[in-house]
Amino acid sequence: MKKIRPELKPAASGRPGVGVLVLTSWDRESLEFGAGAEVCVQRNQDHRYLGEHGQWTATQTWHQVSLSEELIDTSVVLALDARLVDPLVENPQMTYQLQVRIGSEEAIGVLRLRDGVLSSRAAGQSADPVNHVADAQRVAAADSLVSPLPEVAEPAPEPIIQPSQKQSKIGLWVALIALLILVVAGYFAWKYFGSTAQPVITSSTVNPALTSPPVAPAEPAPCSTEALTATKDDLLFIQACLKTNPDSNQVLTVIATAKEAKRCDVVQRLYAFKGQSGDAKVALAYAREFDPATFVAGCLSAADKDTAIYWYELVLSKEPENTDAKTRLEALRK
């Protein structure tokens, strides 16, 4: 079985749901005349195969495809439709191993997804289908339903009761004398005791508004080991983590913690996303996970030479002078 470097690229038409599979290092002049072509796709995450209806199964499935009319150098080019393109571009950070049969010849390689290949669901949609705008008509409809407030009638004035003109003069004088006595007594009390009296302040008289409210514990950073421990949903954690655009060291620290917790989906998705995004340090670490010389059983069940080569090549595409990647790539290709 020959080794190839398959690449999925957008078709010349640019239509969503179609693409061309370029099989670099496979000369189309060597193909048997009239030979049929088949492909088998296996994803690295759980080693499941792409089934007939876009689902991922444990059964190896071969899909019939046709040779493309597009000519790219001397490579073999296959035409893929939505039944294969849609599942592949659904998660562009995933790593796929591709097997190809054309007549009596077979080949295998790690698939590369190039920019510009679109799902068939992209046809007729906006460029950013994730963001949704609220319907402004709901606001207008709500405003039209507001009824005016009812007018409030002013209360009728209370009747004024006139004082009796026959009040006793004796009662009036008694009240005046009592009031004078109280005023005099209050003056002397303030004179002799008011200047020396000090209010006693107790804990019960402290204004509760001046006391400090309890401080709530700070939320952990979205891409941290603390957030990973606090979040049980792997997908929610991955989305929140990647939104912060974490650096290489943050990602590798979280990956190490996820390994210990056996949260392998977090490990593989963070590796794949950051590696495909151009983070050479993360891509190099992912290559070592597959490299037979540095493989350690855990989230990955076995070493994979071809996948290691893929990630070492990606590292060198970003850092051409990376000696570690160069050395291991040369050793694996022997």
The whole-angstrom separation of Cα 278 and Cα 273 is: 9
Amino acid at 248: S
Q: Which long-range contacts (CB under 8 A, 24 or more apart) does 129-133 make?
A: none
> Is 217 among the domain residues?
no
**What's the token pair of residue 243?**
């939104």
Whole-model pTM: value is 0.53
Contact 248, 279 (CB under 8 A): yes
CA–CA separation, 92 and 115 (whole Å): 9
The answer to whether residue 289 sits within a structural domain is yes
Q: Is residue 66 part of a domain?
A: yes
Question: Can you tell me the distance from the alpha carbon of 308 to that of 295, in angstroms, rounded to the nearest whole number?
Answer: 10
Q: For residue 265, how far is the Cα from the chain centroid?
A: 14
Q: pLDDT at position 117, please?
A: 84
Task: Give average pLDDT by consecutive 10-residue segment, the chain, 334 residues.
Answer: 88 86 84 86 90 91 90 86 90 87 90 84 45 36 40 45 52 70 70 55 50 67 92 91 93 95 90 87 94 92 88 90 94 90
- Domain for residue 79, yes or no? yes
> Which of 68, 65, 54 shows the shortest CA–CA distance to 13?
68
Gyration radius of the chain's alpha carbons: 40
Residue span of the structural domain in which 111 resides:
2-120
Q: Taking the chain, what is the end-to-end CA distance rounded to the nearest angstrom?
A: 16
Q: Report the candidate in 256, 259, 327 with the shortest Cα–Cα distance to residue 293.
A: 327
Q: Which of 103, 120, 137 is the last residue of a domain?
A: 120
8-state DSSP, 206: S
Kindly tell me the burial class for residue 88, based on how many C-beta atoms sit within 10 Å of its own C-beta (0-12, 13-18, 19 or more).
buried
Which residue from 96, 105, 79 is spatially nearest to 40, judged by alpha carbons?
A: 96
Q: What is the CATH number of the domain that holds 68?
A: 2.60.40
H helices of the chain, in order, are: 82-90, 137-144, 169-189, 225-230, 234-243, 248-260, 264-276, 280-290, 305-318, 323-333
CA atoms of 231 and 220, how far apart (whole Å): 11
* 185 Cβ contact list (under 8 Å, min separation 6): none
The predicted pLDDT at position 160 comes to 45
Contacts of 47 (CB under 8 A, 6+ apart): 301
Q: Find, among 32, 26, 38, the residue nearest to 65 by Cα.
A: 38
Residue 64 domain flag:
yes
CATH classification at residue 232: 1.25.40
Does residue 192 belong to any structural domain of this protein?
no
Is 53 part of a structural domain of the chain?
A: yes
Give the pLDDT confidence score for residue 140 in this predicted structure: 39
User: Which of 67, 86, 120 is the last residue in one of the domains?
Assistant: 120
Q: Domain count for the chain, please give it.
A: 2
| 76 within a domain of the structure (yes/no) | yes
Q: Which of 61, 95, 120 is the last residue in one of the domains? A: 120
* Coil/strand/helix, residue 290: helix
